[in-house]
Amino acid sequence: MKESPCQFAARLFTALEELVEQEGMYLRGGFFDLVVDSRRRSAPLVKQLGVLAREPGMADFAPQVAALLERCAIHDAFLQGKMLELTLEIRRIDQARHRTSRVAPAYASFAREAAPQFQAAG
């Protein structure tokens, strides 16, 4: 027996909910490479659900869609915050690198002058 579009959509939603749940765990654990993989794996499901959205009875899935969108928005906000945090950290590192490059020559010349001079004893 062939499954109906609504049955197929229900299976897709279940799989998508599992992927979104995994994504949340990966985010909390800081496994951002796995977040990207999870999103890549969920893309075909979302695309297929978009196709199925034209089928009769799909309005019944509106609460599931709303819940998924809310969780995805939370994940997106988390990622945006993490990207901002990392951008600021990169900026601080670049500033420290710039300051170091400006003072390093002074320390290098001081180190050459202060180096002990060894003479061979014979």
User: Does the residue 82 lie in any domain?
Assistant: yes
**Contact, 68 vs 16, CB < 8 A?**
yes
Q: What range does the domain containing 69 cover?
A: 5-113
Tokens of residue 31, six digits: 């496994």
User: Does the residue 122 lie in any domain?
Assistant: no
User: Does the residue 53 lie in any domain?
Assistant: yes
User: Does the residue 41 lie in any domain?
Assistant: yes
Dihedral, CA of residue 105, residue 111, residue 112 and residue 114, to nearest 10: 140
Res 115: pLDDT: 61
Q: What is the pLDDT along the chain (122 residues), one digit of tens a residue?
A: 788 999 999 999 999 999 999 999 999 999 999 999 999 999 999 999 999 988 898 888 889 999 999 999 999 999 999 999 999 999 999 999 999 888 877 777 766 666 666 666 65
User: Does the residue 105 lie in any domain?
Assistant: yes
pTM: 0.71
Output the domain CATH number for residue 28: 1.20.58
Res 114: pLDDT: 64
